[in-house]
Structure 1
Amino acid sequence: MADAQSQSTQPPKTHSGYGVSNSLEGGDSVVEDLSVDDIAVDPVLSFPKIEGFFQPYFDWKKSLNQRFGLQLQLSYQALYQTTNEDVGETNALADRFQIQGAWTLLNRGTKNAGRLTFRLENRNTINSDIPPSQFGFQFGSVAPSGTGFSDFGLALTELAWRQSTFDGRFKFIFGKISAISWYNTHALSSSMRGFQNTALQSSLSKPAPGRGIGLGFGYEINPNLVVVAGVHDANGKTAENPFDTIGQKEFFSSVELRWYTTTPERARYDKVSLQLWHQDRLEDSGTPSSIGATFAASHLFNDRYYAFMLAGVSDGKASIFEKDVLAGVGIAIDTKHRINSDLIAFAVSWGDPSTEALREQTTAEVFYRFQLAERFVITPSIQYVRNPAANIGFDDAWLFGLRTRWTF
C-alpha cells in the first residue's frame, strides 16, 4: 500500500522527522496529514537541484520540532472536473491552500503530550461558475463529487487542544474540529489522497455536520480494542464562526468501538468498527431527531492489496441515505522497481435516500494516484453515477477529474 511504509516495523524516512502518527482519526485530520505527508517516497522524476534548494527549509522545520515541539505543513491542491452530460456547467475547477500544524506545549517527548492543532485554509474556484463540490448536483446526484473543493475563501477550519493521559491510553480533543473524520472511515477516505466522491469516503447514512465546536475522546481498552466517542455541534459550518451556532444546543453524538484485527501499528488498515450515533432535532431546518448505526471492515493483504467495506442504517431525516453499502479495493503499484508509491483504487456504493421522493443511487469511482515528483502527486479519476437520486431525467452520468497536490 502506498502509505504502508508508515506502518512498517522500520521507521520510514521523513523530510522533517515527524514520525508515525498515533491519531485515532481518518483522512480529514491535521495530525494524519503532518505524519503521512512527511514520509519520503521514491517518485518517477527526480530533481536533485530542486530538492537541494528546499533542504534548508525542511531542516528548519525539523529544528522547530526538535527545539519547540512545533510541526508545520503547507500544501496546495487543485481539482478539475468535467462531464460530457447535458448540464448547466460542464467544467469545474477549484484550488485549496492549507497551512496547518501541531504545537506540543505539555509533556513533550512523552506519551502524555498535550498539543494545539490548527488549520488555516483558502478555497476558491478558478475560471468556473461552480466548484467541484457542487458539480455533481447539476444532474441530480445527492453526494458531492468533489469533496473538499468548495469556495468559501479564507477560514480557520481547526483550532483544538489534544491531550493524552494514562500513558497514552486515553486521548481527548476539544475545540473547532471535524465531526465526521473520526467515525466510519477507511484508509482511502481522505479527499486529498483518496476517493473524491463523498459517497465512497464513508457511509452517508450518518449526518455530516461541518467543522464546529466539539469534544471527543478515545480510550484503549487493550492494544487491539479501542472506543472512540464525541459530542459535536450539529449545526457547525466549516467556514464560519463556531460560536454562531453552538448556542442552539443541538448536538450530534457518536460512539464507535474498534477492533484492530492484527496489530495496533496497522490500525489504519486492519480493523473492524461499529458506530452508534444520535442527532438532536434541528429546529431551524425542521429536521427530526435521528439515530443510526454504521459498520466498517478493512484489511491490507501483503502490504499491497487493500480491501474495505462499509455500511449504515438510520431512522430519521438527518442523513442523506436511510441505508447504504460501499466497498472497494486499493492496489499499490510497483513502478520502475520503486517502493510502492503509486496506487490504483476502485469503489462502488449504493444508497437508499432518507427522503421518499428520491430514488436509490449507485456511485462508482476509479482513480490512479501517481507520484510524479517528490511531494507532487497527480490523480486522474473517473466517476460514474447510476440513477442520480434527485433527477429522473438522467439514467446515468460520467465525470472525469484530475487532482494535483503539492506538499511542503
Structure 2
Amino acid sequence: MTDRCKSWIVGAILLAATSATAPDARAQTQTDSAAASATYSGYRQTPTLEGPDGVVTQLDEGDVRTQPVLSFPKVEAFFQPFFDWKARINKDYGLKLQFSYQVLYQGTNEDVPYTSSTAGRAQIQGAWTLVDRGGKNPGLLTFRLENRYTIDSEIPPSQFGFQFGSLTPTGGGFSDFGFAWTELAWRQTLMDGKFKFIVGKISATSWYNGYALSSPMTGFQNTGLQSSLTKPAPGRGIGGGIGYQFNPNFVMVAGVHDANAKTADNPFDTIHLKEFYYSTEFRWYTTTPDRSKWDQVRVQFWYQDPLEEKGTPAGYGMTFAASHLFQDRYMPFILGGISNGEASTFQRDLIAGLGIGFDTVHRTASDVLGVAVGWGDPYAPQLREQYTAEAFYRFQLVQRVAITPSVQYVKNPSANPNRDDAWLWGLRARVTF
C-alpha cells in the first residue's frame, strides 16, 4: 500500500436531514431553496426503510452540510464546482453519486500475536432514478462498489478481537476482500409510497433490528453492539424484500435472502443451493415518520433453512429494538433477541446504550457521544457468557471529514476461558464527496 493511501486518515458524521412536503408550488420552491442551502448538491431526503448503512440513506445524509471544528472557505470554494456537477447530473438524469473513504485503526496492550490493525474502505455508490423521477412511485437502480484492504497489518480490524477470544468482531465493516460490488439492486415504490420492494444483491443485515448508531462507519464499531447477534448474518447476496405502510406510524418489512452469501463473492455461486434466510419485521414509529430513525420500536421474526454444506441446522428466533430522541439531543436505546441459537452467534443477547449530541462553541449538536453495553449468551455450552462495552466520540474536524476515537472492553471473552477481560482502543476517520 502506498504512502499516499496511508495518509488518507479521514471520515464524516453526516446526520439525517428531512425535507418538508409543500402544499403548493411556491412552498415547494421555498423548500427546494432551503434544502439546497443546507446541502452540497441539493439532494433531497428520499424515504427509505433501510438502516444507516444503506446506500440511499448514506447518499442523502452524506450531502448534508455540517458545521466543523475548522473552516477553510477557500478549500470549500475549490470543491464547490464538483458538487455543482453532482447537482446537475441529478437534475438532468436523476443520478445521485457519493465517493467516500474511511479508515480504522485498532490497538491493544493485551498479550496477543498482533497488537494493532489498520484497514481502509473506499466506496463509490449511487442511486439512479429511472422510473417516475419526481413522482410518488420512483424506481431506482442502486449500486455500491467497494475496496476493503489492510494497511501494514497482518489481520484486518474485523478479525482483531478474535485474538483474545471475543465472539463479536471489534472492527465490523473493515475486512480485507479487495474490490467487490456489494450492492446492485432495483428499488421500486408503488401505491403512492405505501408499498416498496427491492430485489438484487443486497444486505441481509442492515434492514432488520437497526437503529441510528448501527453503522460501522458512523456508529458503534463492535458488531455485537450494532444489532442483535441472535439473528443470522449472511453476507451481501441475492435477495428481495417488501415494505408496506399500514399507516404513517406502522410499517411491515419482510425479506428473503441467500443464507450462504459471501459479500465479496459472485452471488450466483451459492443461490443454487436454495437455502434462505427469511425475515419479517414490524415497526412502530412512536412520534412522526420523519423522526423514524430515532423514535421507533421494532420486532423481528426470522427463520433460516438448514445449511447442508456447512452442517448448520435450521434456526429461528425473534429480535426487538427501541429508541427515542429526547430534546433533539439524548437518544437512549435498547435491543436484543432470543433464538434456538444454532444458526447464530448467541441464543440470547441484550444491548443498551445512549447517544448524546453535544453543542460546541460555534456549532449546535454537531458532535456525538455513543456509549453501549451488551451481554451475549452463546448456544454452545462450552462457551461462556460475554459482556461487551464501547464508547466513542465523533466530531466533525472539517467539512466532510469526521474523526472518531473509541475504546472497547470485553469481559469474559467467550472463546477464551483463560482470559478474564481485554481492552482495545480505536481511531476511525471518514471523508465523503
Which position in structure 2 is the counterpart of 1:159? Answer: 184
- Aligned-residue offset at 1:8: 7.8
Q: Is the 8 A contact 1:289 1:316 kept in 2?
A: no
Instruction: Tell me which of 117, 120, 126 is aligned to 2:151.
Output: 126
- Aligned-residue offset at 1:337: 3.5
**Is the counterpart of residue 209 in structure 1 residue 234 in structure 2?**
yes
Deviations 1:39-83, CA, capped at 9 Å, x for gaps = 000001001111111000000000010000000000000000000
- Aligned-residue offset at 1:282: 0.2
Which position in structure 2 is the counterpart of 1:303? Answer: 328
Instruction: Tell me which of 361, 373, 389 is aligned to 2:398.
Output: 373
Q: Is the 8 A contact 1:26 1:182 kept in 2?
A: yes
Instruction: Tell me which of 86, 93, 99 is aligned to 1:74.
Output: 99
Deviations 1:133-178, CA, capped at 9 Å, x for gaps = 0000000001000011000000011000000000011000000000
Which position in structure 2 is the counterpart of 1:245? Answer: 270
Deviations 1:285-308, CA, capped at 9 Å, x for gaps = 111001000011100001000111
User: d(CA) in 1 for partners of 2:406 and 2:177?
Assistant: 24
Which position in structure 1 is the counterpart of 2:17? Answer: 6
Which position in structure 1 is the counterpart of 2:247? Answer: 222
User: d(CA) in 2 for partners of 1:334 and 1:222?
Assistant: 35
- Aligned-residue offset at 1:339: 2.3
Cα gap change, 1:8/1:106 in structure 2, threshold over 3 Å: closer, same or farther?
Answer: closer
Q: Is the 8 A contact 1:120 1:158 kept in 2?
A: yes
Instruction: Tell me which of 239, 245, 257 is aligned to 2:282.
Output: 257
Give unmatched runs, 5+ long, in structure 1.
none
Q: What secondary structure is seen at the aligned counterpart in 1 of 2:235?
A: coil
The code of the aligned residue for 2:124 comes to I
Q: What secondary structure is seen at the aligned counterpart in 2 of 1:121?
A: strand
- Aligned-residue offset at 1:5: 5.8
Q: What secondary structure is seen at the aligned counterpart in 2 of 1:54?
A: helix
Which position in structure 2 is the counterpart of 1:315? Answer: 340
Instruction: Tell me which of 359, 363, 380 is aligned to 1:334.
Output: 359
- Aligned-residue offset at 1:87: 0.4
Q: What secondary structure is seen at the aligned counterpart in 2 of 1:49?
A: helix
The code of the aligned residue for 1:253 comes to Y
State the TM-score, normalizing by the size of structure 2: 0.92
State the TM-score, normalizing by the size of structure 1: 0.98
- Aligned-residue offset at 1:6: 1.2
Deviations 1:271-295, CA, capped at 9 Å, x for gaps = 1111000000000111100100001
User: d(CA) in 2 for partners of 1:202 and 1:17?
Assistant: 32
Instruction: Tell me which of 168, 180, 185 is aligned to 2:210.
Output: 185
User: d(CA) in 1 for partners of 2:221 and 2:15?
Assistant: 21
**Is the counterpart of residue 28 in structure 1 residue 53 in structure 2?**
yes
Q: Is the 8 A contact 2:145 2:181 kept in 1?
A: yes
Which position in structure 2 is the counterpart of 1:99? Answer: 124
Give unmatched runs, 5+ long, in structure 2.
1-12, 21-30
The count of corresponding residues between Structure 1 and Structure 2 is: 407
What is the root-mean-square deviation in Å for CA atoms of aligned residues?
Answer: 1.1
Instruction: Tell me which of 268, 289, 297 is aligned to 1:272.
Output: 297
Q: Is the 8 A contact 1:4 1:303 kept in 2?
A: no
Q: Is the 8 A contact 1:76 1:406 kept in 2?
A: yes
Runs of 4+ in 1 over 3 A off after TM superposition: 2-5, 7-12
Which position in structure 2 is the counterpart of 1:17? Answer: 42
Q: What secondary structure is seen at the aligned counterpart in 2 of 1:334?
A: strand
Q: What secondary structure is seen at the aligned counterpart in 2 of 1:228?
A: strand
Q: What secondary structure is seen at the aligned counterpart in 2 of 1:62?
A: helix
